[in-house]
């Protein structure tokens, strides 16, 4: 969500971080792969043509890039990474520590983290309500 607001380079760097997010606890699950495909659709066809599903060699370089970005970009990236982590209903400590490292490097405070997490939960709740409504 809101990935269309990022620049071309920010989108590519975000996708790199999303790949690291789904790989931090092992091979991506089927649900995580579907989410990556949705993220690719959101960033646009031009980015899809450029992006290759492979982990970059230097995650720190990507983190450094975003550390120098504006607050809005950092919040969009962090929010979407939280969505990736929470998608498969299995949020483990490895993912938690990875997100916490990013949050600290991006200088996102606890209050903003809570706001962004509430958005993730609200979106999940809406999706679940929609599933229940259309299936009954």
pLDDT digits (tens, 9 = 90+) for 36-84: 778 877 887 777 677 666 666 778 899 999 999 999 999 999 999 998 8
- Taking domain 3-135, whether its CATH number is 3.30.450.20 is answered by no
> Using the 8-state DSSP alphabet, how is residue 3 labeled?
G
C-beta neighbour count of 22 within 10 angstroms: 23
pTM for the full predicted model: 0.87
Task: Read off the pLDDT band of 119 (50, 70, 90).
Answer: very high
Q: Are 14 and 77 in contact (CB under 8 A)?
A: yes
Across residues 105-120, what is the average pLDDT?
Answer: 96
């Amino acid at each position: 969500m809101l990935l269309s607001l990022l620049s071309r380079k920010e989108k590519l760097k975000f996708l790199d971080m999303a790949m690291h997010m789904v790989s931090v606890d092992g091979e991506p699950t089927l649900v995580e792969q579907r989410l990556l495909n949705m993220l690719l659709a959101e960033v646009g066809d031009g980015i899809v043509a450029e992006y290759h599903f492979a982990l970059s060699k230097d995650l720190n370089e990507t983190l450094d890039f975003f550390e120098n970005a504006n607050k809005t970009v950092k919040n969009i990236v962090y929010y979407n990474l939280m969505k990736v982590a929470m998608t498969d209903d299995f949020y483990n400590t490895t993912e938690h520590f990875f997100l916490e490292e990013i949050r600290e490097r991006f200088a996102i405070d606890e209050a903003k983290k809570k706001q962004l997490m509430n958005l993730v939960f609200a979106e999940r709740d809406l999706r679940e309500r929609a599933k229940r409504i259309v299936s009954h």
